[in-house]
Amino acid sequence: MTFIFITILLDAIGIGIVVPILPEVIRRFGTDEAFVSTFYGYFISLYSFMLFFASPLLGSLSDRFGRRPVLLVALCGSGLDYLLMAFAPSMFILFMGRVISGLTGASMTVASSYIADVSTDENRTANFGMIGAAFGVGFVIGPALGGLVGSYGHQWPFIIAATLSLTNFIFGFFVLPESLPPEKRKKSLDLTQMNPIKSVFKVLFNSPAAVLIWAFFLVNLAGQSHPSIWALYTHYKFQWSPLEIGLSLTVVGIAFGLGQGFTTRIVTPKIGELKSVIYGSVVLVINFLLYALVTKSWMLYAATSLLLFTSIVMPSLQSMITKGTPSKEQGELQGTLVAITSLTSIIGPLLYTGLFSHFTKAGHMQFSGAPYAMAAFITLICLILVFSKKDNLSKL
C-alpha cells in the first residue's frame, strides 16, 4: 500500500503540475478564447479516449502476467511522453504526445487491481480511499508547483512531470513486489475481454451491481466538471493567473485528500457504504450548485470545503462494486471501471467546455456557471437512482 500510495501520488503530481499551464500551451497556437476553450476540451478528451481503450488491455495483461511488469512499463512510457510534450513544436506533435500519455496512463487500472489483491473486507473501502487521498495530496503539490514553475516557461512543468514519472519507475523497479501469485493468474488472454465497449456494456447492463456501476458513471461524469473548466472558469470570472489557478487547485486537493484519506475512514465504518453514497451525493449536489452561483472568488474556497464530505462517495461505491470479484478477475473489473471513468473523461470535457463556450459567447445568455449546474443535475440523477434501489443495495 505504501508504494502504491507513492505511485498514485507522483502520478497525480505529474498530472496536476501541467493543469494550470495547459490553456497557455494552447495559446501558443491560437489566442482566440473560443479556440482555446475548444482545443482545451479536445486535449483533455483525447487523453481519456486513449485511456478508455488502454485500461481493459492493461487490466487483462496484469491478470495474465502480474501487476508489477505492466505497472512499470506504463510508468516508464508516461515519463518519456511528458518529455515529448515539453518540446512539441506543433499542435499535431502535442496531440500525438497526448495519445501516448493516454495509452500509458492506464497505470491506475493496475494500481487499483493491486489494492484489490492486498485488501480484506475490513480495509477495502479505506484502501480505495487512499487512492483519492493520494490524488488529493498530488493535487495539493502539483498545481501549485505547476503554476509557480510555469511562469518560467511552459515546458518546465512537463519536464518536472517527466522526472517524477521516471523516478517513480526506478523506485518501483527496485521496491515493488508482485501482488498476484502465478497460481492466481489467468492461464491465457481472452481478446474479447480487452474490448472496452463490450466490457463497459457488460457491467452496465448485465452485472449484478449494475445500479452501482451506473452511479459510478454518473458521479465520475459530474466530477469531470472540475478538470474540464476550472482553469477557464476562474480565469473568465475572476481573471485569475496560472499561479492563482494552481494555488486554488491546491486547496481543492487538500480538501479532497482529507475527505478521502480521513473522512472516509471515520464516517463510512459508522454509517456504512450505502449511506455514505447517499448522504455524500446530497452534499455533492449542493456543492456543484454553489460553484455555479458564486459571485466572489472567496466563495469558491468556501464551496471547496464541502469536498471534505463529498469525497466519501467514490471509495464507498468502488468498494461495494469490488466485493465478490475473484482475484484473477480484478484486473478486468478495475480496467472496466477505469474505462468507464475514461468514458466520462471523454464526454465530460466536451460537454462542459461546450456549455461554457455557449454561455460565455457574445450574443448568448451569460451564465458561466452552467457547467457546474449541469454537474449538479447529473449528481441528482445518481442520487435518485441509488435511493430508489436502496433496499436491494443494502444487502451487499
Q: Which one, of 341, 347, 14, lies nearest residue 199 by Cα?
A: 341
Q: Span 124-138, mean pLDDT? A: 75
User: What is the percentage of the chain residues whose pLDDT exceeds 90?
Assistant: 17
User: What is the pLDDT, as a whole number, of residue 377?
Assistant: 97
Q: How far apart are CA 200 and CA 195, in angstroms?
A: 9
pLDDT value at residue 392: 75
DSSP letter assigned to residue 363: T
Average pLDDT over every residue of 16-42: 76
| pLDDT for res 68 | 87
Spatial distance between the Cα atoms of 304 and 265, rounded to a whole number of angstroms: 20
CA pair distance 25, 43, nearest whole angstrom: 11
Is residue 143 within 8 A of residue 234, CB to CB? The reply is no
Could you report how far apart the first and last alpha carbons of the chain are, in Å? 25
Q: Which of 22-26, 213-217, 336-340 has the highest mean pLDDT?
A: 213-217
pLDDT tens per residue, range 177-198? 888 888 888 777 666 666 777 7
Q: Which residues contact 66 (CB under 8 A, 6 or more apart)?
A: 178, 179, 180, 182, 185
Q: What is the pLDDT of residue 193?
A: 60
Q: Is the pLDDT assigned to residue 363 strictly greater than 80?
A: no
- Name the pLDDT band for 324 (thresholds 50, 70, 90): low
- Give me the count of residues in the chain: 396
Distance CA 88, CA 96 (A): 9
| Arithmetic mean of pLDDT, 164-187 | 84
pLDDT at 331 over 90: no
What's residue 167's pLDDT? 86
What integer best gives the mean pLDDT of the chain? 82
Rounded Cα gap, residues 215 and 375, in angstroms: 13
- Lowest-confidence range among 38-47, 84-93, 183-192, 321-330? 321-330
DSSP code per residue over 162-204: HHHHHHHHHHHHHHPPPSS-GGGS-SS--GGGG-HHHHHHHHH
DSSP for residue 153? -
Answer whether 193's CB lies under 8 Å from 200's CB: no
pLDDT tens figures, 43-79 = 777 877 887 777 777 877 888 888 888 888 888 888 8
pLDDT value for 216: 92
The whole-number pLDDT of residue 395 equals 64
Helical axes 155-175 vs 67-86, angle rounded to 10° = 160
Write the secondary structure of 62-126 as one string of H (helix), E (strand) and C (coil).
HHHHCHHHHHHHHHHHHHHHHHHHHCCCCHHHHHHHHHHHHHHCCHHHHHHHHHHHHCCCCCHHH
What is the architecture of the domain spanning 2-175+194-393?
Answer: Up-down Bundle (1.20)
Q: Give the per-residue pLDDT at 219.
A: 94
pLDDT of residue 379: 96
Chain segment 368-378, per-residue pLDDT in tens: 899 999 999 99
- Which one of 27-41, 46-60, 239-253, 287-301 scores highest in mean pLDDT? 287-301
pLDDT of residue 241: 82
